[in-house]
Amino acid sequence: MGELTAVINPQLELMNSLLLTSKYNEITKPIIGYGLMSESNTPYIAAIKEHFLPYADHSVYSLIEQMIPDGFTFSRPVELALSLDDNLKVVRQLSNMCIEYCGGQNRINELLELIKDIGYKVDYMNFYNKHKDFYASYLNELNSKIKPISIVNTIEEFYGKGQRSYNLVLSSLMTGCFGLVFHSKDETGDDVFSVLSINNLHSDIALLLHELAHPFINLLTEKYCSEIEKCSAAYEYLKQYKLHGFKSGYGDWEECVNEHLVRASTIYLLNKLGFYDVAEQNLSNDINSGYRFIPALLQAFDHYENNRDRYKTFDLFYTELIQRFKMNSEGKNL
């Protein structure tokens, strides 16, 4: 069990700086409807744009812009950045999806060489060290909130599983939040990351629990995909309740199950940690957004918690839990 502390990551800041000064938003807006990088004009962002402007013709930009339509969006740049050490060498195992959406290992190697080159030419670490104080107030605010709370202990007790490390990373350059896991090759557990945008710190505890839940739950959904498929009739039923224009969680049935379980567990853990008002607000928002099976899942979590002698881990309860997605002839979950 490790302590959770909010930090900034220079490799992620470099990656996000390149995306920010590329045509990333221009390319992604027609595809997904909005930009994935911040459009704020903070002194830090202004400094980044000014610092990188003389290198606007660097080859790294044309490569990034080629990669974007093939899937180098959302969590892929974040995962690649967080896999790197200070020398921009991959030291954490990338997911197969990340490698695929980056265009393969050779394309990743090419990109990293170009990032190293522009990083050297702009003297990035010197720039980073001069501007990292921009984050001081945000880090202090978030760390003061999470320090008194036993987040890691509560999560590990609930899922019945520990991880090698828990990492909370902030960035002001992106609009999204992400939960990532890097699998280790030994038995020491995985490295779990919750990556938050400072634009979302008004709901930081809920977002933190949400992103930390994904690494625990997504792997189980993948593990029990055949059982998930048996409940797929619920997908069409749920689509009618999806909030118009709200795309999250409905890419496919597996994603819908993941988002239901992650959001339900977030609400459950918020209550366990004493954030009752936040839990109630999340429940209302999630049901309004189309996650209609969350109340049934919360009841199932009560059963799970009251029978931990039988269910030592969330894994052991998972196949029973997903039965809550099965529907009867009247279109109601059982």
The domain locations on the chain are 7-131, 224-334
As a whole number of angstroms, the distance between CA 208 and CA 270 comes to 11
**What's this model's pTM, rounded to 2 decimal places?**
0.87
As a whole number of angstroms, the distance between CA 326 and CA 229 comes to 10
**What is the DSSP pairing of strand 178-182 with strand 191-197?**
antiparallel
Contacts of 150 (CB under 8 A, 6+ apart): 273
The answer to whether residues 214 and 179 touch, using CB atoms and an 8 Å cutoff, is: yes
Q: Determine the pLDDT at residue 315.
A: 98
Q: Determine the pLDDT at residue 281.
A: 95
Q: Determine the pLDDT at residue 15.
A: 98
Q: Determine the pLDDT at residue 280.
A: 97
Question: Hey, is 175 helix, strand or coil?
Answer: coil
Q: Determine the pLDDT at residue 263.
A: 96
Long-range own/partner contacts, residues 153-156 (CB < 8 A, 24 or more apart): 153/1, 154/269, 154/272, 154/273, 155/209, 155/212, 155/213, 155/216, 155/269, 156/1
Output the DSSP codes for 165-228: EEEEEEESSBS--EEEEE--SSSS--EEEEEEEGGGGGGHHHHHHHHHHHHHHHHHHHHTHHHH
The first and second tokens of residue 66, run together, are: 């080629």
The first and second tokens of residue 69, run together, are: 């339509």
Query: Residues 163-175, buried b or exposed e (16+ Cβ, 10 A)?
Result: bebbbbbbbbbbb
Q: Determine the pLDDT at residue 329.
A: 35
Q: Specify the residue for token string 């990083």.
A: 119
CA-only gyration radius of the chain, Å: 21
As a whole number of angstroms, the distance between CA 283 and CA 308 comes to 24
Q: Determine the pLDDT at residue 328.
A: 45
Q: Determine the pLDDT at residue 31.
A: 82
> Chunked in runs of 10, what are the mean pLDDT values of the chain (334 residues)?
84 98 94 89 96 98 96 96 97 94 97 98 98 94 88 95 92 92 81 87 80 91 94 88 63 90 97 95 93 95 98 97 75 54
Cβ atoms within 10 A of the Cβ of 255, count? 14
Q: Determine the pLDDT at residue 186.
A: 75
Q: What is the pLDDT of residues 148-201, one digit of tens each?
A: 889 999 999 999 998 889 999 999 999 988 989 998 877 677 899 999 998 766
Sign of CA pseudo-dihedral 148, 154, 155, 156: positive
As a whole number of angstroms, the distance between CA 298 and CA 295 comes to 5
Question: Hey, is 90 helix, strand or coil?
Answer: strand
